[in-house]
Structure 1
Amino acid sequence: MNAMLQSAWNRLSIYLPILLMGVLALGSYWLVRNTPIFASADVAAPPTHEADYFMRNFSVKNFDAQGHLKSEVFGTEAHHFPDTDTVEISQVRIRSVNPQGLVTVSTADRGLSNGNGSEVQLFGNAVVVRQAVVDKGVVVQPKMEFRSDFLHAYLETERVRSNKPVTLVRGADTFTADSMDYNNLDRQMQLDGRVKGILIPQPAK
């Protein structure tokens, strides 16, 4: 009997490593099947050039820290694009006021403003009009008017630029050029390309 048990044990010991490996494999398979899967945190998708909000027949006012009106924007429709933080405005009209109270009005068929409204690109029938500067009833600086198919207005730095043909009316004088860069703070005007001017003589005082 002992010989039979010894023989059976010897045969079992031969297959014992295989049996243990099988048990371990089954255990590993069970663990894999029953281990909960933790979903990775959703990665924020990059913003696309699709409007995240819009306005119609609107008016938006912007004030400085002292509560003084800096600008007011009108339009028939506006769309904000988060990827570029810009606002596209149809039939745009912007009334801006500098710290000295000088008013500038910008209009166009379409406008593209940056996020904080400090600059706007005007497309189609673009017009920027700066009112005359009057001191004690005397005109120190005449009214200025810029007209072009495209104007880039920097409202805070009081600058107007264009790489398109432009017409400038300053008081009674008229100038045309292929491009323009005007800085009201520095009182500097640069006209490039085919520049033409019509100067109207002022009446003798």
Structure 2
Amino acid sequence: MNLLMRLRRTLDRLTIYLPLFLFAILALGSWWLVRSVPELMPPGIDPQLRQDPDFRLDQFTVKSFDATGRLTREISGQSATHFPATQSLHIEGVRILAENEAGTRLTAQAQKGISREADQQVTLTGQAQAVRQADAQGPRVELRGETFTVGLEDERLVSDQPVRITRGAEVFTAQSMNFDTRSGHYELQGRVRAVLPPRQTP
């Protein structure tokens, strides 16, 4: 009888500690499983983002309008490929037309362009060219270079590479440029050279 009572007490004690033993076994099993399974994706890459393009456009044109229905921006190209991982649109044969509320009109084109949704800008590369049409602020201005960054919101055109600017009969070259398309004013840096026509005396 005493032996039976002792056995029952021993079983009761084991029953108390049984959940702890089970949790310990499960924890060890999970740790072993995590260490044994190889990484499916390299570190630092969000598994939810696709690294390959998710869509492609051919011979496309995208237009933007303001609240009054006035055309403010038009971007077109021969083809475009969208990469969701970087939220960027890579455009072949890109062309841009922009006009602000003051009527200032700017056209730009290049062999390639990259439009980033978050930055509201387009980077033009490969024989980039931009033209600000003549208006009350000044004469026609033409810009040529290898790379331009067009700010769609601040209406600026920036380049950190050599550029050539033709303003009426004046020609400027510089190593870098910051051009305000609204006012027609530009800042040139680096080695700046200018060819100015002679003034006509009355």
TM-score computed with the length of structure 2 as normaliser:
0.75
Please say if residues 104 and 182 of structure 2, whose CA atoms lie closer than 8 Å, have aligned partners that are also in contact. no
In structure 2, the partner of 1:191 is 188
**Which of 1 and 2 has greater Rg?**
1
Q: Secondary structure at the match of 1:141?
A: coil
Deviation (angstroms), 1:164: 0.3
Aligned equivalents of 2:103 and 2:51: distance in 1?
37
Moved over 6 A (4+): none
Aligned equivalents of 2:184 and 2:94: distance in 1?
26
The alignment covers a number of residue pairs equal to 178
Counterpart residue identity of residue 119, structure 1: Q
1:13 aligns with 2:5: yes
In structure 1, the partner of 2:134 is 132
What aligned pairs does 1:72-83 form with structure 2 within 5 A after superposition? Answer: 72-83=74-85
Query: Please, which runs of 5 or more residues in structure 1 have no aligned partner?
Result: 1-8, 33-43, 135-139
Please say if residues 98 and 156 of structure 1, whose CA atoms lie closer than 8 Å, have aligned partners that are also in contact. no
In structure 2, the partner of 1:141 is 138
Pick one of 119, 122, 132 that aligns with 2:121: 119
Deviation (angstroms), 1:16: 2.1
Pick one of 90, 93, 96 that aligns with 1:91: 93
Identity of aligned residues (%): 34
Deviation (angstroms), 1:153: 1.4
Q: Secondary structure at the match of 1:142?
A: coil
Q: Secondary structure at the match of 2:8?
A: helix
1:71 aligns with 2:73: yes
Aligned equivalents of 2:151 and 2:169: distance in 1?
25
In structure 2, the partner of 1:175 is 172
Closer, same or farther: CA 18–156 of 1 in aligned 2, 3 Å = closer
Please say if residues 109 and 123 of structure 1, whose CA atoms lie closer than 8 Å, have aligned partners that are also in contact. yes
Q: In the TM superposition, what whole-angstrom CA distance separates every residue of 1:124-162 from its partner, at most 9, and x where no partner exists? A: 11111111116xxxxx62111111111111233321111
Closer, same or farther: CA 159–112 of 1 in aligned 2, 3 Å = same
Q: In the TM superposition, what whole-angstrom CA distance separates every residue of 1:102-140 from its partner, at most 9, and x where no partner exists? A: 221110111112217842111111111111116xxxxx6
Please say if residues 59 and 76 of structure 2, whose CA atoms lie closer than 8 Å, have aligned partners that are also in contact. yes
Aligned equivalents of 1:149 and 1:57: distance in 2?
23
Closer, same or farther: CA 155–203 of 1 in aligned 2, 3 Å = farther
Aligned equivalents of 1:113 and 1:181: distance in 2?
19
Closer, same or farther: CA 204–84 of 1 in aligned 2, 3 Å = farther
Counterpart residue identity of residue 116, structure 2: N
What aligned pairs does 1:157-172 form with structure 2 within 5 A after superposition? Answer: 157-172=154-169
Pick one of 58, 61, 64 that aligns with 1:62: 64
Closer, same or farther: CA 86–110 of 1 in aligned 2, 3 Å = same
TM-score computed with the length of structure 1 as normaliser:
0.74
Alpha-carbon RMSD across the aligned residues, in angstroms, is 2.9
Aligned equivalents of 1:161 and 1:188: distance in 2?
12
Aligned equivalents of 1:17 and 1:116: distance in 2?
69
Aligned equivalents of 2:131 and 2:53: distance in 1?
30
